[in-house]
Amino acid sequence: MPVLIVPDKSKPLNIPVFQSRIPKPEELVVLDKPLLEATIEVGNLLKDCKAKWALGGDIGEILNGVNVQPDHITILTNVVGCEEISTKLKGFQVEASKLVETQIKRNAEIEPKPLPIMIKSYTSRFDLNGQRLNVHGDLRIKVGDWDWGDPLDYEPEYVYVVGVKVPVVPLELKTRLYRGLGWYDRVSKIHAAMARRHHKIV
């Protein structure tokens, strides 16, 4: 039986030691497992979807490396897509598609006085094993008493989630949107992700 030898050799060595800063949990871009699994399921179910659609909101950003923590899945599409997705996800639907106008929680921060932000879209809601999914068709935005904007349009970019290819709303569009709303904290988060990626800063 070997004897554990604990020699009295503990001493600082004259060897360069590189400082190590271990990242804090909140600095790491990690998607929670339930949402991850729901995203994979959505990606699989919609892989043959003919209408244009993409993951938007925080889920679309974290899949592109942005350090946000989504609590649900958002899909941006058009009216046709809203119907097609409703058909493909029929078993999970909790609210049929209808035109919904609502004020979002955060205000626009572009003037000294905060301006409310309204969104209007054909909205249907789903529940995938406890994970919320909101599908927005022809989403339009209105800030304060301004006119309604045109329906959001985009060319999807693609990311892979455990082997499932899913479309996401381009970060460039998100950046323009956030900048327009004065949400510079969100602009910074996207910039940070792009810098980590060594991509152009939009």
Question: Residue 115 gets which letter from DSSP?
Answer: B
Distance between CA 73 and CA 70 in Å, rounded? Answer: 7
Specify whether the CB–CB gap between 122 and 134 falls below 8 A.
no
Pick out residues in 63-102 that bind another protein (CB under 8 A). 63-65
47 binds another protein, rule: CB under 8 A: no
Neighbours of 11 (CB within 10 A): 6
Could you say which of 73, 159, 187, 190 contacts another protein (CB under 8 A)?
159
Nearer to another protein, 135 or 161 (CB): 161
Could you say which of 146, 148, 160, 184 contacts another protein (CB under 8 A)?
160
Size of interface with another protein, in residues (CB under 8 A): 45
Question: Residue 63 gets which letter from DSSP?
Answer: T
Distance between CA 76 and CA 99 in Å, rounded? Answer: 14
Interface with another protein by CB under 8 A: which range of 13-21, 106-114, 121-129, 175-183? 13-21
| In the complex, minimum distance from the CB of residue 25 to another protein, in angstroms, rounded to a whole number | 5
155 binds another protein, rule: CB under 8 A: no
Beta bridge partners of 65: none
Distance between CA 49 and CA 85 in Å, rounded? Answer: 7
Using CA atoms, how far residue 35 sits from 29, 43, 54, 188, in Å, is 14, 12, 16, 24
Pick out residues in 169-198 that bind another protein (CB under 8 A). 195-198
Distance between CA 155 and CA 182 in Å, rounded? Answer: 23
Nearer to another protein, 32 or 101 (CB): 32
Interface with another protein by CB under 8 A: which range of 18-26, 48-56, 74-82, 89-97? 18-26
10 binds another protein, rule: CB under 8 A: yes
Residues forming contacts to another protein in the complex (CB under 8 A) are 1-2, 4-23, 25, 28-33, 36, 62-65, 158-163, 195-199
